[in-house]
Structure 1
Amino acid sequence: MRRESNPALAAGFEKAVSDGTTMTVGGTIVKILIMTAILGVAFVYSWIAFQNPDVNYKSALVVSLGGSLILGLLTSFIPKIAQFTAVFYAAFEGVLLGSISRYFESMFPGIVFPAMLLTIICLVATVLIYRRTPDIAGRISRGVFIAIISIGAIYLLGMVLSFFGITLPIYGSGIIGIGFSLFVIAIATASLIMDYDFILKASQYGYPKYMEWYGAFGLMVTLIWLYTEILNLLAKFSDN
C-alpha cells in the first residue's frame, strides 16, 4: 500500500495486526460520527463554560492540550488502543477547540462560524473529488507527504526561534503569513483525500476491525488541523 501522507495514520497502519475481524468503510464512518458527536458536545460545553469569568481558562486549556498530545501520540504508535483512546482524544480536542475558538471569537467577533463552514465545505468538496477521481490520491501522495514534513519542520523552527525572541513572518498577518496559511490549508485539504484513500484501501486489504477507530482518529486529526488553520487565516485577514 502506498505511503500515507497523514503521519497519525502512517505509523499505525504499518503496525496493524490481524485479529480475525475485518475493517469496513461503513464501520469507519460510524466511528467518525461518534467521535464528531463527542467532540461537538465537548466543544459546546467549553464554549459555554468559558463565558463564566470564574472558570479557570488557562488550566482547562493546559489539561486539554496535554491530554490531546499524549493520547494523540500513544494512539498514533499503538493503533490497537485506538478503540479505547479515540473517544477520549475527541473529548479533549473538543474542550481545546472550544476554548481556542472562544478566544478567537472574543478577539474577532463572528470568526468561528465561517471557519466551521469553510471546514465543512473542504470536507464535502474533497469527498466529491475523491469519489469522482479516486486515482488522484496516487498522484498527490508524495508531494503531500513532503509538504507535511516541511510544514512540521517550519513549525518546529518557529518554536525554537521563539525562545530567542525571534518571530517568523509566517505568523504575521502580512503577505507571507497569509500566503503560508493558504499553503497549509491546501495541504491539509489534500491530506483529507489521502485519508479517504487509505481508509478505503485498508478495508479492501482486510485490515482488522479495530483499525476503524484508528482510521477515524487519523481523519479527525486532519480535520482539526484544517479547522485551526482556517481559523488562523481568518484571524490574519481580520487583523488587517
Structure 2
Amino acid sequence: MRSSNPVFSRRGFSRDNGHAQFNAAPQAGGPAVGTQQGNPYAGGNPYAGQNPYAGQNPYAQGDQQTYANPYAQDQYGVQAPTTDRMTMDDVVMRTATTLGTLIVTAALAWWFLPVDAANMGKSYGIAVGAGLVAMVLALVQSFKRKASPALILAYAALEGVFLGVVSNVVDTHIANGAAMQAVIGTMAVFTAVLVAYKAGWIRVNRRFYGFVMAAAMGFVLLMAVNLLFAVFGGGDGLGFRSGGLGIIFGIIGVLLGACFLALDFKQVEDGIAYGAPREESWLAAFGLTMTLVWIYMEFLRLIAILQGDD
C-alpha cells in the first residue's frame, strides 16, 4: 500500500469485483484447495514477503500440517487480531495524529503570520516556502518503501503552515468565512463517501481505479499548463482557475478528491485483510491526509471564486 496523493501511483488492488466495504469478510473467488475453497487473498497478497509464515500458507485449508502460527486463522479463514498487524484502530489513531498536527500548525500560522498589507509579503513567502518543502517531503515519502512517521508528521506540520496562511488570506481579503465553509464541505464529502463506501454503493475495482487515475493525471496536467501560462504570461493563464471555467474545474477537483477517498478506503480495507504490517497504518494516514488537503483546497478555491464574483 502506498501514498494516496492524487498525483502518485498506487498498488494493492487485487480484487476486481464486489462491493468494497469496511470489515467485509474475505470474498469468494480465490483458488480452491482440495474440496474446500482456499483463501481468496492467497497468491495475491502484496505483504506475503513480509510475513514469516508466507512460505507455509496458513490459509490453505487442504493442508494438514500444523503450524505454531501467531497469525492463525479460524475455520472460516479469518485472520485473528495480532499486535504487529494493521488494524482499523491503528489507521484512525495515525490519521488523527497526522491531521491534528496539520490543524495545530495551521492555527498557529493563522494567528502568528498576519496577512495585513504590511506583512502580507513576508507571511506569504513563509507559506510558499513551507508548501514547497512539504511537497518535497511528500514526494520522498511516496517513493520510500516503508513509512517514516517523522517524515509524515513533518509534512503535515509544514502543510499546515501553508494552509493556515492561504486560508487566512482568502478569508480576510476575498471571502469572509471561506475557511470554515471549506472545512464543512470537506467533512461533508468525507462522510458521504464513507457512507456510500460502507453501503456498497461505490464499486472500487480496477476499472474504477484506472478511470480515476486517468482523470486525475489529465486534471493535473491541465492545471500545470495553466500555471505555466500564468507564470510566464501573467494573469490566470488559460483561465482554468477563475470565472466559469474555474467553477467547473473546482467541482471536478472535488469529485476527483471524493474518488480518491474511495480508493483510500479500499486500500485500508485491503491492508487489514492482507495482514499488512502495523507501520502501513502511517501510509494510510498519510494518504488520507493528502486527499483531504486536496479536497479542502478545491473547496477553498471554489468559495473564493463564487464569493469573489459577488
**What is the deviation of 1:189?**
1.1
Q: Provide the rounded CA distance (Å) in 2 between the counterparts of 1:5 and 1:106.
A: 29
Moved more, 9-18 or 200-209: 9-18
In structure 2, do the counterparts of structure 1 residues 147 and 232 end up closer, same or farther at CA, with 3 Å as the change threshold?
Answer: same
**What is the deviation of 1:40?**
1.1
Are 1:122 and 2:175 matched, yes or no?
Answer: no
Q: Provide the rounded CA distance (Å) in 2 between the counterparts of 1:85 and 1:66.
A: 14
Does structure 2 retain, via aligned residues, the 8 Å contact 1:5–1:148? no
User: What residue is the counterpart of 2:230 in the other structure?
Assistant: 162
**What is the deviation of 1:197?**
0.6
User: What residue is the counterpart of 1:153 in the other structure?
Assistant: 221
Q: Provide the rounded CA distance (Å) in 1 between the counterparts of 2:46 and 2:145.
A: 7
**What is the deviation of 1:221?**
0.5
TM-score (structure 1 length as normaliser): 0.89
Residue identity in the other structure for 1:170? F
In structure 2, do the counterparts of structure 1 residues 11 and 131 end up closer, same or farther at CA, with 3 Å as the change threshold?
Answer: closer
**What is the deviation of 1:81?**
3.9
Residue identity in the other structure for 2:297? T
User: What residue is the counterpart of 1:137 in the other structure?
Assistant: 204
Does structure 1 retain, via aligned residues, the 8 Å contact 2:94–2:281? yes
Superposition CA RMSD, Å = 2.6
Q: Provide the rounded CA distance (Å) in 2 between the counterparts of 1:87 and 1:96.
A: 14
**What is the deviation of 1:7?**
4.3
Does structure 2 retain, via aligned residues, the 8 Å contact 1:67–1:92? yes
Does structure 1 retain, via aligned residues, the 8 Å contact 2:196–2:202? no
Q: Percent identity of the aligned residues?
A: 23
Residue identity in the other structure for 2:91? T
Deviations 1:86-143 (A, max 9, x none): 1111111111100110010112212111111010011111111111016522263222
**What is the deviation of 1:63?**
2.8
Among 200, 222, 227, the residue aligned to 2:291: 222
Q: Provide the rounded CA distance (Å) in 1 between the counterparts of 2:233 and 2:148.
A: 39
User: What residue is the counterpart of 1:187 in the other structure?
Assistant: 256
**What is the deviation of 1:220?**
0.6
Among 222, 241, 259, the residue aligned to 1:171: 241
Moved more, 9-18 or 75-84: 9-18
Q: Provide the rounded CA distance (Å) in 2 between the counterparts of 1:225 and 1:151.
A: 13
Residue identity in the other structure for 1:99? V
User: What residue is the counterpart of 2:55 in the other structure?
Assistant: none
Residue identity in the other structure for 1:32? T
User: What residue is the counterpart of 2:10 in the other structure?
Assistant: 10
Are 1:84 and 2:141 matched, yes or no?
Answer: no
Q: Provide the rounded CA distance (Å) in 2 between the counterparts of 1:58 and 1:11.
A: 36
Q: Provide the rounded CA distance (Å) in 2 between the counterparts of 1:15 and 1:65.
A: 32
Residue identity in the other structure for 2:222? I
In structure 2, do the counterparts of structure 1 residues 9 and 25 end up closer, same or farther at CA, with 3 Å as the change threshold?
Answer: farther
Moved more, 78-87 or 131-140: 131-140
Among 66, 82, 94, the residue aligned to 1:31: 94
In structure 2, do the counterparts of structure 1 residues 65 and 87 end up closer, same or farther at CA, with 3 Å as the change threshold?
Answer: same
Q: Which has the larger radius of gyration?
A: 2
User: What residue is the counterpart of 1:100 in the other structure?
Assistant: 166
Does structure 2 retain, via aligned residues, the 8 Å contact 1:5–1:141? no
In structure 2, do the counterparts of structure 1 residues 223 and 152 end up closer, same or farther at CA, with 3 Å as the change threshold?
Answer: same
TM-score (structure 2 length as normaliser): 0.70
SS of residue paired to 2:50: coil
Moved more, 139-148 or 11-20: 11-20
Higher relative contact order (CA 8 A, sep 6+): 1
Alignment coverage as a number of residue pairs? 237
Q: Provide the rounded CA distance (Å) in 2 between the counterparts of 1:47 and 1:149.
A: 32
Which ranges in structure 2 are unaligned for 5 or more consecutive residues?
14-44, 53-83
**What is the deviation of 1:24?**
2.1
User: What residue is the counterpart of 2:129 in the other structure?
Assistant: 63
SS of residue paired to 2:240: helix
Does structure 1 retain, via aligned residues, the 8 Å contact 2:86–2:275? yes
Q: Provide the rounded CA distance (Å) in 2 between the counterparts of 1:71 and 1:130.
A: 30
**What is the deviation of 1:62?**
3.0
User: What residue is the counterpart of 2:26 in the other structure?
Assistant: none
